[in-house]
A = this chain, B = another copy of it.
Amino acid sequence: MKSNLHRRQPKDVDNTGFSPNSAAEGSRLINKDGSTNLRKIGLGIFERYSIFHTLLRMSGTKFLSLVFLFYTATNIIFAFVYLAIGIDKLSGVEASSNFLTNFTQAFFFSSQTMTTVGYGHVAPHGFIANAFASIESFLGIITFALVTGMFYARFSRPKAYIKFSDNILIAPHKEGRAVMFRLATYKNNHLTEVHAEVTVAIHHLHDGKRVSKFYPMPLEISRINSLAISWTCVHYITEDSPLWLMRQEDMRDARIEFMVTIKAFDDNYSNTVLQRTSYNYDEMVYGAKFELMYKRSDAGDVTEVMMNKINAYVPHAFVEDVVENA
C-alpha cells in the first residue's frame, strides 16, 4: 500500500441530518427505497402518521381494497341501523322471519343509498329511516369526494421513476479508480436538469464505539441537461477523496454507505422530483466495469436503451491489488 504521508485530510460535513453516533450496528442509514432507517417514538399513532401521506404512498391495489372495505363496512353498519329501526320501515322489502334475508335487503338498500343509485323499489318510510337514509347518502357523497381527491393526489404525485443499478462499482478510471453507479428512467417520463449528490458515511470504530463521519463525494459530472439514455455517475478517487487509499477491507470495516440523491425537473408534470437511494458495502463490487446499455436499433433510426442491462457489469481486476494480495 502506498504511503499515507501526503494525504490531505478531506473535510467531513455535519449537515446531513444524521448525527455522529446515529449509526445502528449492522444497519443502514438510508433504505434502498430512499426512506430513512429511523423510527419515531413517543407520539400517538394519529400524531405520528399523516393519513394523507400513508394513503398516498400505499400501493394502488391496497388503496382500492381499503376503499372497497370501507364501502362494505359502512353498508354493514347502516344495514344494522335499518334493521334496528325496523325492516318494515323500508317499504318494498318483504319482511322475512329469516334474519339473513332481512339483513341482505337492508344491506342492499344501504348500498343503493350510499352510491346514490336509489332505484326506489326499496325506499325509506317514516322519519327515522328517512333521516338515516339522508345522512347515509350525504356520507356516501362525501366519501366519494374524498376518494376522488385521493385518486387525483395519488396518480398526479410527481415521481422520478428512476431505476438505479443494483450495485455500485469500484472501476478503473483514467489513471486510477472511480466509484460508479448508474441510473435511467424506466417510464415514458422525461427528466431535465438532473442533479446528483452523493454523500458517503464512514463509520469508524473509536474506543469500541462506532463514530460516523460524512463526506461529500464530488462527481465528475454532477448535473446533466436531460436524462435521455442512462447516466453513469462517476466519483474519481483522487487524493482529495474520502476513499483515497482505502482498500476493499477498509471499506468493509468502516461499513461504508453511499447516500444518493437525484433531483430533476419532470417535463410532463412541470415539477421538481427527487429520488434517493443508498448503497452499502454489500452492494459494492470491487474491480468491475459497467457494460454499455444502449445500442442503435436494427433499423438504425433510433437509439435503444436496454433497461434489462442496467445491472450488467464485467469484472476488471486491479493490477495493484493482485500484486498486493500476492
Chain A residues with a Cβ under 8 A of chain B:
14-19, 22-27, 29, 34-43, 47-54, 56-57, 64, 67-68, 71, 75, 91-92, 104, 107-108, 111-113, 115-124, 127, 130-131, 133-134, 137-138, 140-142, 144-153, 155-158, 161, 184, 186-190, 192, 194, 197, 199, 221, 223-229, 231, 261, 265, 267-274, 276, 294, 296-297, 300-309
Contacts and interface: CB of A to CB of B under 8 A. Distances in A.
A79 to B, nearest CB: 11
Contact of A43 (B151, B227, B274, B308): B308
A32 to B, nearest CB: 15
B116 A119 contact: no
Contacts of A68: 138
A44 B157 CA distance: 22
A225 B223 CA distance: 17
7 contacts: A15-B221, A15-B224, A17-B231, A26-B301, A107-B134, A157-B270, A158-B270
B22 A229 contact: yes
B297 A39 contact: yes
Given A22-B303, A117-B117, A118-B119, 10 more contacts: A18-B228, A25-B301, A41-B305, A42-B306, A53-B189, A108-B124, A116-B116, A116-B117, A265-B274, A269-B270
A158 to B, nearest CB: 4
A12 to B, nearest CB: 13
Contacts of A304: 38-41
Contact of A15 (B64, B127, B225): B225
A74 B280 CA distance: 48
A274 B225 CA distance: 13
Contact of A17 (B56, B186, B229, B297): B229
Given A228-B18, A229-B22, A272 B261 contact: no
Contacts of A131: 108
B147 A17 contact: no
Nearest to A308: B42
Contacts of A274: 192, 265, 267, 270
B18 A229 contact: yes
A57 to B, nearest CB: 7
A43 B303 CA distance: 15
A68 B138 CA distance: 8
Nearest to A134: B111
B302 A38 contact: yes
B307 A190 contact: no
